[in-house]
A = this chain, B = another copy of it.
């Protein structure tokens, strides 16, 4: 792979796939070839990449013969079907879906947090859930400094989490609202315009949603602390791209807000935006289209002996999905873990 690797982007027409192409270009990812794959329906369409036009090919086993690595931006069930095609052709899969995240043999990687875990992959590396990535990037520096024992998180998740159709539904419904045209929800179960939906993904166990349990189980796996105490409430909000999270933590050792700010300001991938005197704190509208995780409103949790409260925001399509996948690919290249 000396002259650059051959990279497949699978699901290249979706919101995350499109963003992957943009991020590959912006980060000057050393690919000698980029192969764009998508469903039969999209085959033959053109997508822009580095001033050229690439033609979308249908997903087929043969396509993976030409690829060293593949970024999957497809639904879980499609990932399960397509991953064996890549593996049979010795093409490493970096999968953005939920399909393999909790598999014992599949590393679940956030490069700022647990890069070493990627080393012994067996051909598939999973990209965590977007809300999980954004949370662990913000919490890891504090976890490393003083140990986190308990996390209570409530999310405010953008419609981009439901892909292009989610983005289009909010856009279209707001347009209709202004024109006085009634709306019927299609992508979301209920109206998303001027509303909040406390339900993301399906209900699974004990009244929790799958999205909430992803935040619990994936965070434990990424931190390597299977017994970490975590409770999540995940809520869809009428925001386009960035997810926000209100987080309360309890720590093993005490840490002051000043110390936390100091630790976070030195952490990779984190930007501290925290100055109440200047009305400065992260907001989703202003952090969209960026790769970092923004942390603000850092203060003592006054309800526990040792704890912090904070407000965390990150672009769901970028750091929550496309950028993190590409950082995993870069991690493999830099360490020759392929």
Chain A contact residues, CB within 8 Å of chain B = 150-152, 154, 156, 170, 174-175, 177-179, 189-191, 194-199, 203, 206-208, 216, 229-231, 233, 235, 237-240, 244, 246, 248, 257, 276-277, 279, 281-286, 296-304, 307, 309, 311
Q: Which residues of B are found within 8 Å of A307, using beta-carbon distances?
A: 231
Contact between A283 and B198, CB atoms less than 8 A apart: yes
A203-B276, A207-B299, A276-B207 known; A283-B196 Cβ under 8 A = yes
- Cα separation A191 to B287 with both chains bound (whole Å): 13
Q: Which residues of B are found within 8 Å of A194, using beta-carbon distances?
A: 170, 238-240, 284-285
A197 closest partner in B (C-beta): B283
Q: Which residues of B are found within 8 Å of A203, using beta-carbon distances?
A: 276-277
Contact between B233 and A297, CB atoms less than 8 A apart: yes
> Is chain A's interface secondary structure helix, strand, loop, or mixed overall?
mixed
Q: Which residues of B are found within 8 Å of A246, using beta-carbon distances?
A: 154, 198, 233, 235, 246
Contact between B283 and A230, CB atoms less than 8 A apart: no
Contact between B302 and A208, CB atoms less than 8 A apart: yes
- Cα separation A237 to B235 with both chains bound (whole Å): 12
- Cα separation A198 to B277 with both chains bound (whole Å): 14
Query: How many copies of the polypeptide does the oligomer hold?
Result: 2
Most buried by B among A189, A206, A277, A297: A297
- Cα separation A206 to B297 with both chains bound (whole Å): 10
Q: How far is the CB of A233 from chain B (nearest CB, A)?
A: 4
- Cα separation A300 to B151 with both chains bound (whole Å): 15
Contact between B248 and A195, CB atoms less than 8 A apart: no
- Cα separation A207 to B239 with both chains bound (whole Å): 25
Contact between B156 and A231, CB atoms less than 8 A apart: no
Q: How far is the CB of A299 from chain B (nearest CB, A)?
A: 3
The 6 closest A-B pairs by CB, nearest first: A207-B299, A195-B285, A154-B246, A231-B303, A154-B154, A203-B276
A195-B284, A199-B281 known; A156-B235 Cβ under 8 A = yes
Contact between B309 and A196, CB atoms less than 8 A apart: no
Q: Which residues of B are found within 8 Å of A150, using beta-carbon distances?
A: 303-304
A150-B303, A178-B174, A194-B238 known; A279-B231 Cβ under 8 A = no
Q: How far is the CB of A209 from chain B (nearest CB, A)?
A: 8
Q: Which residues of B are found within 8 Å of A229, using beta-carbon distances?
A: 303-304
Contact between A196 and B151, CB atoms less than 8 A apart: no
